Structures are given as C-alpha cells and as structure tokens.
C-alpha cells in the first residue's frame, strides 16, 4: 500500500518537464527554475515530486535529484525519479516511478532500500493487474490533451475500470485540470499526477505558485467524495 495514505485525502503528484517549464531559459537557469518549482511544490504540500527528465545524463540527473531531495527534507513531499532506479538510490530519493515497459516492480523491490516507494505507469486494466509490487499506479491518458485530443484516452469509465482492478492507489494523468477534477474523483482515483496543471503562462519560466490550485483541487475531490448518493462510474 501507499505508505500513510489517507483514503480521504487525494494524492497530488507534480511531474517535472524542464522544456515546458523553461522554454527560453539557459541550461543554468532551467536548473534553478526547477529548484524554484520544487520549493513551491513542497510549500503547497504536494505529496510526490516526480523528476521525469529522461534525456539528462546520469551524473547530472543524480545531482538534480539530490538537490530536490534536500529541498524536500523534513517535509511530507517525497521525491521520485522517473524510471532510473540507480539514480533514485544514489540521490537518496524516496522512490522510483517505473514506465509501463520498464523493469517489473518486483525486481526493483529486490534491490531498493527498505521503505522505498515504487510506482508504475499503466494504460489498461491488464497492465494494472500485472503491476506486481508497485505501491501506486499512474493511469493515463485520462482525458484529452493538446497532444492527445481524442485517441487513446481512458475517460471516466476507463479510469474507473483500472481503479477497480488495482489493489493500490491509482492516480490519473493526462488532461487533469480543475474542470476535470470532479471526474477524476468520481472514477474512484486516489489523486492525480500532472505537468501542465502546475505551470502558468509566464515566459520564459512558467513556474507557478501551486498552493491555491492544489487547495482547490483537493476541495473539489472532497466535494465529490462527500456527495450523498453519488454513483461510481461503471467499470463495464
């Protein structure tokens, strides 16, 4: 199970993407913008900070992750590294988030430190069932996005089917906005993961202060969970 997860409180996961964060920044500037984003995430009480920078060389990625780990130290925010188990362990991160086509979660568990958090991306009920020893799943693409306007989206019913099949908390990703937040909650998801949700329209650095929007997202989750007679979306 997801450690210390309160089923009544949505899990919020910020996923990094330095190119979307800082389209016009220099290499040095983008790192500092990412640190500023990490500080904002910690201040907002974001639960998971997933570093997804697959093209960064191992030593640089380890240094980046180690700085974010230090920023999050003493807070409730857990820093994860996307897919790079070696980097996550070397940087002292709280866990790793595995791609759907990555190593089995069970294999990662055998070499990970005690208490290490292991997540996995899934896109179907079959992948959710086969997730093994993962502590949580991220299911997507949940709703249409600019890059995926229609094709391949789970929708509310597809997300609900994955939630029903999984034995661990499921977070929605893709097309997650304040407008779709109630649909994520109604599908039974434990929370959400996002990139764009945490970005504003400023340029060149789009780091936003996420506190207000995180609070609003959690409030919308609470509203749906507390509604009497709300019927869960059919998984069929």
Structural domain spans, the chain:
11-224
- pLDDT tens digit string along 126-154? 999 999 999 999 999 999 876 666 667 99
Instruction: Report the relative pairing of strands 48-51 and 117-122 from DSSP bridges.
Output: unpaired
Percent of the chain with pLDDT over 90: 73
pLDDT at 28: 82
Average pLDDT of the residues of the chain: 88
pLDDT at 225: 66
pLDDT at 2: 59
pLDDT at 231: 41
Q: Which region among 13-27, 116-130, 148-162, 215-229 has the lowest average model confidence (pLDDT)?
A: 215-229
Fold of 11-224: TIM Barrel (3.20.20)
Residues 6+ positions from 48 with CB-CB distance below 8 Å: 11, 12, 13, 14, 77, 78, 80, 119, 193
Q: Which region among 18-27, 63-72, 130-139, 204-213 has the lowest average model confidence (pLDDT)?
A: 204-213
- The two tokens of residue 223 are 């509203």
Taking 80 as the threshold, does the pLDDT of residue 204 lie above it?
no
pLDDT at 151: 60
- The pLDDT confidence band at residue 122, using thresholds 50, 70 and 90, is very high
- The two tokens of residue 19 are 């190119």
Taking 70 as the threshold, does the pLDDT of residue 232 lie above it?
no
- The pLDDT confidence band at residue 236, using thresholds 50, 70 and 90, is very low
CB contact at 8 A, 95 and 78? yes
pLDDT at 229: 41
- pLDDT tens digit string along 2-11? 555 566 689 9
How far from chain centre, in Å, is Cα 137?
A: 9
Percent of the chain with pLDDT over 70: 86
206 versus 219: which is more confidently predicted?
219
- pLDDT tens digit string along 55-110? 999 999 999 999 999 999 999 999 999 999 999 999 999 999 999 999 999 999 99
Per-residue pLDDT averaged across 159-179, rounded?
95
């Amino acid at each position: 199970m997801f450690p210390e997860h309160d089923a009544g409180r949505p899990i919020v996961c910020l996923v990094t993407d330095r190119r979307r964060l800082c389209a016009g920044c220099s290499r040095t500037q983008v790192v500092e913008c990412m640190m500023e984003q990490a500080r904002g995430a910690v201040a907002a009480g974001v639960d998971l900070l997933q570093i997804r920078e697959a093209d960064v060389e191992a030593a640089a990625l380890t240094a980046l992750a180690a700085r974010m780990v230090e920023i999050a130290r003493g807070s409730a925010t857990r820093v994860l590294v996307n897919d790079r188990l070696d980097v996550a362990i070397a940087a002292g991160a709280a866990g790793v988030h595995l791609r759907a086509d990555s190593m089995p979660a069970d294999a990662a568990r055998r070499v990970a430190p005690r208490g290490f958090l292991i997540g996995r991306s899934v896109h179907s009920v079959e992948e959710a069932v086969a997730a093994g020893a993962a502590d949580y799943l991220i299911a997507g693409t949940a709703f249409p996005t600019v890059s995926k306007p229609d094709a391949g989206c789970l929708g509310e019913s597809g997300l609900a089917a994955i939630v029903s099949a999984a034995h661990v908390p499921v977070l929605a990703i893709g097309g997650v906005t304040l407008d779709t937040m109630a649909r994520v909650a109604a599908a039974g998801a434990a929370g959400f993961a996002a990139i764009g949700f945490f970005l504003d329209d400023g340029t060149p650095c789009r780091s936003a202060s996420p506190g207000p929007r995180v609070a609003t997202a959690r409030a919308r989750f609470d509203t749906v969970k507390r509604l009497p007679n709300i019927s869960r979306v059919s998984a069929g």
